[in-house]
Amino acid sequence: MAAERLKDHSQESRTFSIRAVIAFVLVIMLMGGLIGRYYYLQVTEHSKYASLSDKNRVQLQPVAPTRGLIYDANGVLLADNRPSYSVTVLKEQMRDLDGTLLKLREIIDISDRQVERFRKRLRQRRRPFETVPVKFRLTQEEIARIFVNYHRLPGVQVEADLIRYYPYGKSLVHALGYVGRINQRELQKVDATNYADTHYIGKLGIEKYYEEMLHGSVGFQQVETNARGRVMKVLESSPPVPGQDLELHLDMRLQRITEKLVEGRRASVVAIDPKTGGIKALVSTPGYDPNLFVTGISNTDYAALRESEDLPLFNRALRGRYPPASTVKPIIALAAMDSGTVSPAYTVHDPGFYTLTRGGRRYRDWKRYGHGKVNLDLALAQSCDTWFYSVGHKMGIDPMSDYLGRFGFGQVTSLDLPEALPAILPSRQWKKATRKRPWYPGDSINLSIGQGFLVATPLQLATATAVIANRGKWVRPTMLKGIRSVDANGEPVLIPPDISEARPLPADIEVNNPAYWDHIIDGMASVMHGPRGTARKSAQGAQYRIAGKTGTAQVVGIKQDEKYDAEALEERHRDHALFVAFAPIDDPKIALAVIVENGGGGSSTAAPVARQVMDAYLLGLDPTTADRAIYEDLEIALQ
């Protein structure tokens, strides 16, 4: 039997002591490490981590300014801001974005297109903890459904926002333009800081041109948030500066009346105050509802607008390029006299045509067998083509192009209509550069009656008519009348627009003999009030004297010996009807241009519209309602 080993208590005591010392040292080392780390974090790096902590707790949020309002000259509100509710998503508060979207779509109706747009906006998000809208313009029922299901929708919330609203819809879209959701390309062109919380920007028209004034300046607020990013309280705020309110020259009453007069037609009317250049009406029909574009138009609605044969998206008043036809004859006549080509007493014999050479091609007058002996007054009153063929041939292209340019053709002279086109003012140099051909005498023949290469916009025709009304004095066509503000006493004031950086206007037209203006204006008066004037029916019963000029622009050509038969042509191939006028002659208060596409003769279609627009502005009549009988008695066709 082996001997039993006795325990060595002294050895066990030494081992325990060593282990205790090692454990104590380890504890001391760990405590030292913790104390050192604590000191490092709380003392050495205190400032750094205090700042990071504040960033987690305190957020600096931008506050979008309220967009400025737009009024007409009589204080009628044209562009408003209205509250709208949207359902938004805060990505940082959700674990399953796709799952949350599915739940949300079970609660309210959200289309695939809306989801697609949401994902695009989410990718373009500019900063963390920024909510992204999924659906705009929630109904009260939809808001209630979301509130009831908040517990199932982490990161989803309903937000109130002010969005643009246009009370008159399509009546003003081609004059005001509209705002829409700001995109990445537009964001790169503006101060990104100032647009930090802005979702909308001017896309067209006044809304686009005066975007800087209307937008205002962004504000900021410091808010305390919880761990989930929700705002607990506002610590400090710097309020935004609202956008400026604008007042336009536009007369909404006149705008609505004018629109009704051409309703159902492809037409445009521009009316200007010759004294100020203020645009009183700018109509292009058909139009479209700009409210559809504010928060994003559906594919179906946009396709319907884009594919319409009537081109409702097209701004005819500013971008429509039409042969001005006989409406430029007063300017051609002035050019012929002032350039010394002919005297005011110049007459021609009109057999119904004009030839450059004996037996050569016949340039037909609109009246098949001619007007007989024709002087300047009858040439304008009856719109005799042969008289203008003759002076155009004698004068040649250079004076005609020069004088037409002095009246604003071939250029943009307006202040705040960014979509306006210069159209085309032909010249020798222009034809050589664009057509690689010289200018021929036949080109001058065509130009003398406003056909051929010359095209103009309704805005240019109205502007040129205003210059005639002012006997050569230029005024700049403009929409903005002033900025609404208050003075030191709190009284409302209107601050005129700053046009110091606007493009220069053409010089005032100085003619060699002021009497030339009398000849031109008297001839335009004969159009309306003369016994043989082409628009004399439209002036019947007028309480003021009108100076006007009719025009009929060909859409399709006809052979030399053919007779124009409107009934044999498709409606869209028929002539355009044009008319320009100003009134009263002795103290012009309105100048306007009317174009009715495929409307036939200017005297039968466009001139009656112009007469009624002038009556509405000068006399306060409304030919679309109770005053209609006045024009029926005068046998003026209401369009």
Active site residues: 326
Q: Is 428 exposed, middle or buried (0-12, 13-18, 19+ CB in 10 A)?
A: middle
Q: How many helices (H) and strands (E) does the chain have?
A: 23, 21
Backbone φ and ψ for 255, nearest 5 degrees, come out as: -60, -45
* Whether the Cβ atoms of residue 385 and residue 449 lie closer than 8 Å to each other: yes
Q: Please state, in angstroms and rounded to a whole number, the distance separating the CA atoms of residues 222 and 218.
A: 14
Residue 147 to residues 140, 157, 271, 327, 501, Cα–Cα distance (Å): 11, 8, 52, 64, 52
Q: Please state, in angstroms and rounded to a whole number, the distance separating the CA atoms of residues 397 and 426.
A: 8
Beta-strand relationship, 590-596 and 576-583: antiparallel
* Whether the Cβ atoms of residue 300 and residue 325 lie closer than 8 Å to each other: no
Residue 632 to residues 536, 627, 635, Cα–Cα distance (Å): 15, 9, 5
Angle CA 534–538–542, to nearest 5: 125
106-115 as b/e: b if 16+ CB within 10 A: ebbebeeebb
The one-letter amino acid at 293:
F
C-alpha atoms less than 13 angstroms from C-alpha of 40 in its C-beta half-sphere: 6
Closest CA to 511 of 588, 403, 408, 587: 403
Q: Is 522 helix (H, G, I), strand (E, B) or coil?
A: helix
Q: Please state, in angstroms and rounded to a whole number, the distance separating the CA atoms of residues 145 and 140.
A: 9
67-102 as b/e: b if 16+ CB within 10 A: bbbbbbbeebebbebeebbbbbbbbebbeeeeebbe
Q: Please state, in angstroms and rounded to a whole number, the distance separating the CA atoms of residues 497 and 488.
A: 20
Strand partners, 60: 222
Q: Is 35 exposed, middle or buried (0-12, 13-18, 19+ CB in 10 A)?
A: exposed
Question: Cβ contacts of residue 157 below 8 Å, gap of 6+?
Answer: 87, 88, 90, 131
In 22-69, DSSP assigns E strands to 58-63
